[in-house]
Amino acid sequence: MLNSNFFEEVKAYVFNLFKEKLPLNTVYHSANHTSYVVEAANEIGLSQNLSEEDLETVLLAAWFHDAGYIEGAEGHEDRSMVIVDNYLTKRNFSKEKITKIKELIKATKLPQVPTNKLEEIICDADLSHLGRLSYREESKLLRLEREQLAGEVVSDMVWLKETELFLSQHQYFTNYAFENWNAQKTLNWLNVKNAIKKLDVKTSEQDQKKSLKNKEIQIKKSKEERPDRGIETMFRVALRNHVKLSDIADTKANILLSVCAIILSIALSTLFPKLDKADNYYLIVPTLIFILITLVTMVFTILSTRPKVTSGNFTEEDVANKKVNLLFFGNFHKMSLDIFQKGITEVMKDRAYLYDSMTKDLYFLGIVLAKKYKLLRVAYTIFMFGIVISVLSFVLSFLIMQSQV
């Protein structure tokens, strides 16, 4: 029957309709799909021993069931019924037969609910691809068509899950379709389920990699935002400079103490033995001034270098409350080893506590340096002006003594 002149004309009409009016983005519901549905309908119809009239009805419905796609997917069944009505009316088909064909086209609308044998045949023929080896390729075309018509991309997981659900709920209505296509449809369904599992594993691995990468980025970003190396360098340089300045102050104090000690020893060994003579009375006042200035200078020098040790009486509670700077020996020299070790562990764990301790250490070291340099300045000032005053007093006393002779 398919090779009759009438159906050759029908085929030419439908193919020409698709060729001229079908949108390019309709890549699945095309003339090829229509041909497959017609062939499947013919197979099933022949197996059901349909009369020529019924077979003709089914085949005409198969040829025109997707003709409405020339104007889009939505409501294409209704447009297909209009197209077949116009075509068959011109060929003097009875209204009753045209209505019957239109009912068959309407039955292909999803979800399929056929009410008679002919509707079951057209429904099974329309979805015969579900039980064919070519199902995977046809599924790709159907997905591509859906994306292009909807104007949006369908994710792999969404498509696979929708396909799996459709396959699991679909059933063939005719015995021929069930016997010939259901086994392959089941295999296709299992392949889709396996694809979902593989995609789940792949997605999970990608999510893990993405999560690890995000963590690495966050760690890297956190390190960039927190210039730990720069901060540590700053503290290292500042503390080194403070220690150097302290060494310089101690060196200056040592020099001044040495000079004062030499001057004092010379004065005691040279000037003091001459003071018991009556002729040298004029040396008493200058000598006393000289010795006094030397002693005062030495006192201020010693004060600048005198170490100061704090009490070191801090409890474990003080350490827990972060009230102690454990980086300074004066604060922990009376602590037990256990308390000190716990405190140092807390300092190393807490970045803020560590930097706070280093800041305090730097600050108090600066306070000590300021006091040390202040006392040294006073000592050097006393020594400088004292030497001048002492020399002048010796000169003045000598002149007074000469004027009295």
Task: Return d(Cα 300, Cα 252) in angstroms, integer.
Answer: 12
Q: Can you give the pLDDT at residue 324?
A: 59
Q: Which structural domain, as residue segments, surrounds residue 256?
A: 228-404
* Chain CA centroid to CA 310, Å: 48
Domain co-membership, 122 together with 232: no
Q: Which own/partner pairs from 193-199 qualify as long-range (CB within 8 Å, at least 24 positions apart)? A: 193/164, 195/160, 196/157, 196/160, 196/161, 196/164, 199/156, 199/157, 199/160
Whether residue 241 is contained in a domain is answered as yes
Task: Return d(Cα 383, Cα 94) in angstroms, integer.
Answer: 135
* % of residues, the chain, pLDDT over 90: 40
- Which distant-in-sequence residues (6+ apart) come within 8 Å of 62 by Cβ? 34, 37, 38, 40, 41, 122, 125, 126
Higher pLDDT pick, 380 / 231: 380
| Listed range (95-99, 190-194, 239-243) with the worst mean pLDDT | 239-243
What's the average model confidence in pLDDT over 196-225?
Answer: 79
Q: Can you give the pLDDT at residue 316?
A: 58
Whether 202 has a pLDDT exceeding 80, the answer reads: yes
Measured CA angle at 224 (ends 221, 226), to 5 deg = 110
Q: Are 382 and 300 in contact (CB under 8 A)?
A: yes
Q: Can you give the pLDDT at residue 312?
A: 52
Average pLDDT score over the chain: 84
User: Following DSSP, what letter does each residue of 131-160 receive, concatenated?
Assistant: GSTTHHHHHHHHHHHHHHHHTSPPPHHHHH
Residue 12 has φ and ψ, to the nearest 5°, of: -65, -40
Q: How far is CA 307 from CA 12, 60, 241, 245, 256, in A?
A: 112, 112, 19, 16, 18
Domain count, the chain: 2
| CATH number of the domain that residue 114 is part of | 1.10.3210.10
Task: Return d(Cα 153, Cα 140) in angstroms, integer.
Answer: 13
What's the average model confidence in pLDDT over 119-148?
Answer: 92
Choose one of 126, 143, 162: the last residue of a domain: 126
- Which distant-in-sequence residues (6+ apart) come within 8 Å of 218 by Cβ? none
- The amino acid at residue 363 is Y
Choose one of 81, 109, 126: the last residue of a domain: 126
Whether residue 212 is contained in a domain is answered as no
What's the average model confidence in pLDDT over 3-17?
Answer: 89
Q: Can you give the pLDDT at residue 261?
A: 87
Distance separating the N- and C-terminal Cα atoms of the chain: 165
Q: Are 34 and 14 in contact (CB under 8 A)?
A: yes
Whether residue 206 is contained in a domain is answered as no
Whether 331 has a pLDDT exceeding 70, the answer reads: no
Span 247-274, pLDDT tens digits: 888 888 888 888 888 888 877 777 666 6
Q: Collapsing DSSP states into helix, strand and coil, what is residue 113?
A: coil
Q: Are 360 and 236 in contact (CB under 8 A)?
A: no
Whether residue 10 is contained in a domain is answered as yes
Residue 404 has φ and ψ, to the nearest 5°, of: -90, -10
Whether 208 has a pLDDT exceeding 80, the answer reads: yes
Q: Collapsing DSSP states into helix, strand and coil, what is residue 171?
A: coil
Q: Are 310 and 325 in contact (CB under 8 A)?
A: no
The pLDDT-based confidence of 36 (bands split at 50, 70, 90) is very high
Higher pLDDT pick, 236 / 326: 236
Domain co-membership, 389 together with 258: yes
Span 273-303, pLDDT tens digits: 666 666 666 777 777 888 888 889 888 888 8
Q: Can you give the pLDDT at residue 58?
A: 94
Whether residue 136 is contained in a domain is answered as no
Whether 23 has a pLDDT exceeding 60, the answer reads: yes
Choose one of 95, 126, 157: the last residue of a domain: 126
Higher pLDDT pick, 155 / 333: 155
Span 332-387, pLDDT tens digits: 556 667 766 766 677 666 667 777 777 877 887 888 888 888 989 999 998 899 88
What's the average model confidence in pLDDT over 220-236?
Answer: 68
Q: Can you give the pLDDT at residue 357?
A: 75
The pTM of the full predicted model, rounded to 2 decimals, is 0.55
Q: Can you give the pLDDT at residue 326?
A: 55
Task: Return d(Cα 354, Cα 343) in angstroms, integer.
Answer: 11
* % of residues, the chain, pLDDT over 70: 83
Whether residue 191 is contained in a domain is answered as no
3-state SS string over 236-292? Answer: HHHHHHHHHHHHHHHHHHHHHHHHHHHHHHHHHHHHHHHCCCHHHHHHHHHHHHHHH
Domain co-membership, 118 together with 245: no
Q: Can you give the pLDDT at residue 329?
A: 57
Domain co-membership, 234 together with 382: yes
